[in-house]
Amino acid sequence: MDFSFNEEQKMFQAMARDFAKREIEPLAAQWDEDEKFPYEVMKKMADVGLCAVGLPEEYGGSGDELSFVILSEEIAHASAGLAVIVFCNAGLAAYPITLHGTEDQKGRFIPRTVEGAISAFALTEATAGSDPAAIQTTYVQKDEGYILSGTKTFITNGAEADWVVTFATKDRALGYRGISAFIVEKGTPGFSVGKLERKTGIHPSSTAELIFDNCNVPKENLIGEEGRGFRISLEAIDASRVTVGAQALGIAQAALDAAVDYAKQREQFGQVIARFQAIQWMIADMATEIDAARLLTYRAAWLMTRQEPHLKEAAMAKLYASEVAHRVCHKAVQIFGGYGYTRDFAVERYARDQRITELYEGTSEMQRWTIARQVLGIK
């Protein structure tokens, strides 16, 4: 078994790491403090081709799912907030279009993503979180298109998105069979941004309420066939779980790196704390768990690149990596002691940013449910 990257992947990882260290890491704390969307860095990412990663080459994209996972980990190491902007943009919101969109839709939207345009994936509602089949947003078909009415909540990139991929049902009584997927562009009459959430972490990315008030969507913006929206949404979420695993990995590795550096410098009782067994055991556990999480995550990404079944493996990667990041960030704060609870040190931000990885794209409980059903063979 070969667990190493090929030369092209190694070069890409080195380039992404260098970009993150130069262009992202020095600004990450200020983005967190200001809660401002980092438009300037998104433009720089587009200029060097990083917004193209994982998208189809025929529309200006480059690389594959494994490259996208590499990129996500490296960006998250510097800024988890920027990482979620990127994976919602070129991943979660792009998957429905790349997998099920018409040639016209791909030609209209994918090149814009490559150039740095912002998009969002709007599925969650107040009554439909872990159960997306319970969405209340409705649509009515008209000769010229569709009329959408309803409200979405907790939508990443919602406030800045140039377009959103959203989901609505033509009849709530039909459950998942009534759901269809649509592209709604900024400026569409009846489409507006509502409340912006104030969050614990990932501050550079917006989390917004989106309102569809008799929103008129042209018929050419229907993704796939009517009634296939539920399946389209699940495919996008399943694929994006691996990227959330990579985001959690990046946060965890950053926390470990910070803890190691601090332990080698901080002196107590006449010696650096790295010489104390209690610290060494925490470092050993952190490094071991990160390594295991990385193997799970990159195995799932490898399966995706080979277009092999990966539902269970993606859920395992997301579950384990996110919970490892939780434990690693907790230990990192412990190693820093009181300083780790202040905003003078990045581990405080890592601990806040990490928490969301156990919630979005399916909570840890939903990942366990998915894994168990796969193992047990329950449909």
What is the reported pLDDT for 38?
96
What is the reported pLDDT for 253?
98
Burial of 14 per CB tally in 10 Å (0-12, 13-18, 19+): exposed
What is the reported pLDDT for 352?
98
What is the reported pLDDT for 129?
85
What is the reported pLDDT for 259?
98
pTM reported for the whole predicted model = 0.96
What is the reported pLDDT for 312?
97
Give 100's strand partners. Answer: none
Give 216's strand partners. Answer: 147
Say whether 361 is catalytic.
Answer: yes
SS3 state of residue 92: helix
- Tell me which of 65, 348, 358, 361 is the catalytic residue: 361
pLDDT, tens digit, 9 for 90 and up, residues 244-291: 999 999 999 999 999 999 999 999 999 999 999 999 999 999 999 999
Per run of 10 residues, the mean pLDDT along the chain (length 379 residues) is 86 97 98 96 97 96 93 98 96 95 97 97 93 93 94 97 98 93 97 97 97 97 96 93 97 98 97 98 98 97 93 97 98 98 97 97 96 94
CATH numbers and ranges of domains, the chain:
7-114 (1.10.540.10), 119-229 (2.40.110.10), 231-376 (1.20.140.10)
Q: Determine how β-strand 207-218 pairs with β-strand 145-156.
A: antiparallel
What is the reported pLDDT for 379?
80
CB distance 193 to 215 below 8 Å: no
What is the reported pLDDT for 171?
93
Task: Choose among 257, 206, 200, 203: nearest CA to 77.
Answer: 257
What stretches of 36-162 adopt beta strand conformation (E)?
119-122, 138-142, 145-156
**What burial letters (b/e) apply to 169-198, b meaning 16+ CB within 10 Å?**
bbeeeeebebbbbbbbbeebeebebeeeee
